[in-house]
């Protein structure tokens, strides 16, 4: 053993050494102490401090204690359990690997090849006894490669993910962070909402102002014909807000304090507002709606009144109060003194302006719906009529559905298995060509239809609505991409994970 460091006994769990050796005796380093006739206890450094001219070191021993017979200490150079791990660092291929020449005057004609620590006794010159520890996957410092069938998560943190999982994680990160699709052909149309700008081939209009929650957590106004970018209450971008027309029925909204009467019929209505106050409903319907908290928290309540007069009585802090005739709340509608209508968002792309393939293609969409149980179109590709159509929509049964019509005949109408939930992000990919239509949602199994001719003479892509602006989407599109090739189902699954 190499000469130790001279040490002076302080207590059963501490000693001093000359000079500033705090860098050598850091917490976690293993220590061997020579206490003469009292033994050589092993322990772990718990702390050290320097006060000229000495460093005081505190330790926790595996057993026993330091004694006044302490003369020297040795410390390891690896953390944790450095002394116990030290031999492994001299293995073949390790950090401080030893060759036969390092061991001593071993005869040149004697060869030792080992990947395990050497231990035992004997004379290195002639009768070296070797003990080879069996290999296993549980030794300290062992990192085992996980197979593609094994979960990476769990308590076995030594496992590393397989290459396929790392590759998928990189692709998903590139898609969501930069709007790119590594490993695939370039999209001919790529709307990536985090850019806060639409592709130049997109025609967008809205015949009124519009409002959404901004990144700062306050309601933000957008001018007529300006696309809106919506955020959640934590400041995360939801995407390009696309909605059909909606009317706020109450006339005082910004900060109402007095009761107001609204004429209603026997259909679904939704009231929503920001703030810590409450609104009492009476007349055609009786209920008390309590606020969810200050901006940006928003509460909504859906109900079906009897036909007649609904009275709204606000109390406390109520902001942007809104009553509308539908089964879910749309984005806030501002303006005072009368009922206010927000016009529909209309986004279209002329296929002549992009590299559109008339024989095949794939559309990817990352989106959310503000409400469910009503049919809403994610996109609608048509020939200017309803005779030739490719479309993806959520059905009234809350299923993401692919549909195609060719020469006036419906040839595809297939639903994905999962049921969607309002205000939840989904990723869907729809590939299409003659007799081959496939839909994948969130990396799940593909649903397919293998019959039907590709629709012809397609001219227009409509985002968030069908022809005539009917069946509008009420939600947000974070990413929308068109590829001029029908991608494989494996690619559809990978791009939606």
Q: What is the CATH number of domain 5-86?
A: 2.40.30
Same fold, 161-241+343-497 and 246-342: yes
Statement: residue 309 has pLDDT above 80:
yes
The average pLDDT across 215-228 equals 98
Kindly indicate the confidence band of residue 288, based on its pLDDT and cuts at 50, 70 and 90. Answer: very high
Tell me the C-alpha distance between 328 and 269, whole Å: 8
Q: For position 94, what pLDDT does the model report?
A: 57
- Mean pLDDT rounded to a whole number for the chain: 89
Burial class (CB in 10 A: 0-12, 13-18, 19+), 53: exposed
Task: Output the pLDDT for position 484.
Answer: 99
Residue 100, pLDDT above cutoff 60:
no
pLDDT of residue 154: 52
A 10 A CB-CB count for 390 gives 23
Calculate what percentage of the chain has a pLDDT beyond 90.
79
More confident residue, 356 or 143: 356
Query: What top-level class would CATH report for the domain 246-342?
Result: mainly beta
Residue 207 has pLDDT above 60, yes or no: yes
Task: With cut-offs at 50, 70 and 90, classify the pLDDT of residue 48.
Answer: very high
| Residues 67-94: tens digit of each pLDDT | 999 999 998 864 444 444 555 555 565 5
What is the CATH code of the structural domain delimited by 161-241+343-497? Answer: 2.60.120.200
Average pLDDT, stretch 452-466? Answer: 98
Averaged pLDDT for residues 428-440: 98
438: confidence class by pLDDT, cuts 50, 70, 90:
very high
Domain ranges (residues) in the chain: 5-86, 161-241+343-497, 246-342
* Residue 344 · residue 333 · CB < 8 Å: no
115 to each of 80, 131, 338, 443, how far by Cα in Å? 21, 12, 84, 43
> Which of 4-8, 97-101, 245-249, 275-279 is least confident?
97-101
Residue 235 has pLDDT above 60, yes or no: yes
- The dihedral over CA atoms of 299, 242, 192, 177, expressed in degrees to the nearest 10, equals 10
Q: What is the pLDDT of residue 441?
A: 98
Average pLDDT over residues 303-308: 99
Work out the average pLDDT over 21-30: 92
Q: Which of 86-100, 102-116, 212-226 has the lowest mean pLDDT?
A: 102-116
Per the model's pLDDT, the better-predicted residue between 160 and 200 turns out to be 200
Q: For residue 310, what are the contacts with CB-CB under 8 A and spacing of at least 6? A: 261, 262, 263, 264, 269, 281, 282, 283, 284, 285, 323
Q: How far apart (Å, rounded) are the C-alpha atoms in residues 170 and 495?
A: 11
Ranges 52-66, 157-171, 313-327: which has the least confidence? 157-171
Distance between alpha carbon 252 and the CA centroid of its chain, in Å?
A: 39
- pLDDT for 101 equals 54
Three-state helix/strand/coil letters over the chain: CCCCEEEEEEECCEEEEECCCCCCCCCCCEEEEECHHHCCCEEEEEEEEEECCEEEEEEEECCCCCCCCCCEEEECCCCCCHHHHHHHHHCCCCCCCCCHHHHCCCCCCCCCCCCCCCCCCCCCCCCCCCCCCCCCCCCCCCCCECCCCCCCCCCCCCCECCHHHHHHHHHHHHHHHHCCCCCCCCCCEEEEHHHCCCCCCEEEECCCCEEEECCCCCEEEECCCCCEEEECCCCCEEEEEECCCEEECCCCCCCCCCCEEEEECCCCEEEEEEECCEEEEEECCCEEEECCEEEEEEEEEEECCCCEEEEEEEECCCEEEEEECCCCCCCCCCCCCCCEEECCCEEEEEHHHCCCCCCEEEEEEEEEECCCCCCEEEEEEECCCCCCEEEEEECCCCEEEEEEEECCEEEEEEEEEEECCCCCCEEEEEEEECCEEEEEECCCCCEEECCCCCCCCCCEEEECCCHHHCCCCCEEEEEEEEECCCCCHHHHHHHCC
């Amino acid at each position: 053993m190499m000469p130790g460091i001279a040490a002076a006994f302080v207590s059963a769990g501490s000693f001093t050494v000359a000079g500033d050796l705090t860098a050598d005796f850091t917490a976690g380093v293993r220590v061997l102490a020579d206490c003469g006739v009292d033994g050589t206890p092993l322990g772990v450094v718990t702390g050290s401090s320097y006060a000229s001219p000495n460093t005081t070191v505190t330790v926790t021993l595996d057993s026993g204690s330091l004694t006044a017979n302490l003369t020297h200490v040795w410390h390891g150079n690896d953390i944790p359990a450095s002394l116990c791990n030290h031999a492994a660092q001299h293995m073949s291929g390790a950090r401080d690997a030893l060759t036969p020449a390092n061991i001593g005057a071993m005869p040149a004609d004697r060869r030792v090849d080992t990947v395990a620590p050497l231990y035992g006794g004997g004379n290195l010159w002639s009768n070296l006894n070797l003990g080879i520890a069996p290999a296993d996957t549980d030794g300290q410092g062992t990192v085992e490669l996980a197979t593609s069938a094994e979960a990476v998560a769990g308590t076995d943190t030594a496992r590393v993910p397989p290459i396929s999982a790392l590759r998928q994680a990189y692709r998903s990160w590139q898609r969501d962070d930069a709007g790119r699709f590594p490993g695939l052909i370039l999209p001919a149309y790529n709307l990536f909402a985090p850019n806060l700008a639409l592709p130049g081939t997109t025609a967008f209009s809205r015949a009124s102002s519009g409002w959404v929650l901004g990144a700062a957590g306050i309601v933000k106004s957008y001018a007529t014909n300006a696309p809106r970018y919506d955020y959640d209450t934590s400041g995360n971008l939801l995407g390009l807000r696309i909605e059909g027309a909606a009317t706020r029925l109450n006339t005082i909204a910004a900060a109402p304090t007095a009761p107001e009467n609204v004429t209603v019929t026997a259909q679904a209505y939704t009231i929503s507002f920001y703030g810590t106050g409450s609104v009492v409903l009476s007349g055609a319907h009786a209920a008390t709606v309590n606020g969810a908290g200050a901006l940006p928290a928003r509460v909504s309540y859906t109900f079906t009144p009897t036909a007649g007069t609904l009275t709204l009585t606000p109390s406390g802090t109520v902001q942007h109060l809104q009553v509308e005739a539908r089964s879910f709340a749309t984005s806030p509608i501002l303006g005072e003194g009368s009922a206010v209508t927000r016009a529909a968002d209309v986004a279209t792309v002329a296929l002549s302006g992009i590299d559109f393939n008339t024989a095949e293609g794939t559309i990817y969409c990352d989106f959310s719906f503000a409400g469910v149980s009503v049919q809403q179109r994610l996109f609608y590709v048509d020939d200017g009529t309803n005779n030739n159509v490719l479309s993806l929509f959520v059905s009234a049964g809350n299923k993401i559905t692919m549909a195609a019509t060719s020469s006036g005949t419906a040839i595809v109408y297939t639903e994905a298995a999962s049921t969607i939930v309002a205000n939840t992000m989904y990723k869907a990919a729809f590939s299409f060509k003659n007799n081959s239509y496939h839909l994948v949602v969130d990396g799940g199994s593909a649903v397919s239809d293998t019959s039907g001719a590709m629709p012809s003479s397609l001219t227009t892509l409509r985002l968030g609505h069908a022809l005539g602006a009917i069946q509008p989407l009420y939600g947000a599109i974070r990413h929308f991409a068109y590829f001029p090739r029908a991608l494989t189902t494996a690619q559809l699954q990978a791009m939606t994970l």
